Amino acid sequence: MEYVRVRDAEVPAIGLGTWQLTGEQCYETVSTALELGYRHVDTAQLYGNEREVGSAIADADVDREDVFLTTKVTPGNARYDDVIESTRASLDRLDTDYVDLLLLHWPAPLVSFRETARAMAELRDEGLVRHAGVSNFRRWRLKRAREKSPIPLVADQVRLHPHYTHRSLREYCADVDAMVTAYSPLAHGGLVDDDLLARIGERYGKTPAQVALRWVTQLANVAAIPKSTNREHLAGNLAALDFELTDAEMERIDRPSLVRSAGLFLRNEMGL
């Protein structure tokens, strides 16, 4: 396993995203992932699956200390007291004494991030949270959040793939010793039949999805949390770490396009 190291955090470069996974399917998927070697699991209060994620981790033949577990506070819980109360409730559902990373899921414009961060700092001081961060923050918003936070913000989780690259955010995070966690790194499944990725993959015996994941994880300070319920695909995602793209290939794959990105997103949302 490769790791992203920022400050005193060591995060597996590929983890499991659990958005839209619920009930037994969520439990079985997390269990399978842990069996295959995943040690990074991402959930959120909004996903409604913290209980299943926690049960799978508790039942796995893996020490809790070996799993990097992230959950996210819904923006409706961004006020100080609500951050404290909702995080404690998350810990109860996850059946754990702490989470490795607590994020604010989306910006909460009606609440000063200073208030949110102050609560995160208290949770960290109590040992309930090891690291804090944000999700879906653009560069300018992350910069302002860092200025208001009494503790380091070690991560910003955003949608990131070869057509939606967040270059300025990534450069900023590298400069301030923070990481970017890439959700939807396969562009909602839209990259699995990408011609360029397929051609590059032929050289290494890899699928387009594996090439896309390798591109993401070779970026500085970036981890990826693809979602899959298929055992073969889960194993294949981990296998994306056993080869290395050349600098020229990295540049060819980097093809930012809001049109392509939006098209792939809409195709997924509409089931096209």
Q: What is the pLDDT of residues 24-75, one digit of tens each?
A: 999 999 999 999 999 999 999 999 999 999 999 999 999 999 999 999 999 9
Q: Is the dihedral of CA 26, 29, 34, 37 positive or negative?
A: negative
Q: How confident is the model at residue 188 (pLDDT cuts 50, 70, 90)?
A: confident
The contacts found for 198-204 with CB under 8 angstroms, 24 or more apart, are 200/245, 200/249, 200/252, 200/253, 204/243
Q: In the prediction, which pLDDT does 272 show?
A: 36
pLDDT in tens, 228-258: 999 999 999 999 999 999 999 999 999 886 5
Q: Which domains does the chain have, with CATH numbers?
A: 3-188+219-233 (3.20.20.100)
Average pLDDT over residues 190-210: 96
pLDDT of 270: 38
Q: Give residue 266's pLDDT.
A: 46
Q: Give the percent of the chain with pLDDT over 90.
A: 92
Active site residues: 47
Return the pLDDT at 268: 52
What end-to-end distance do the CA atoms of the chain give, in Å?
35
| Whether 75 contacts 107, CB under 8 Å | yes
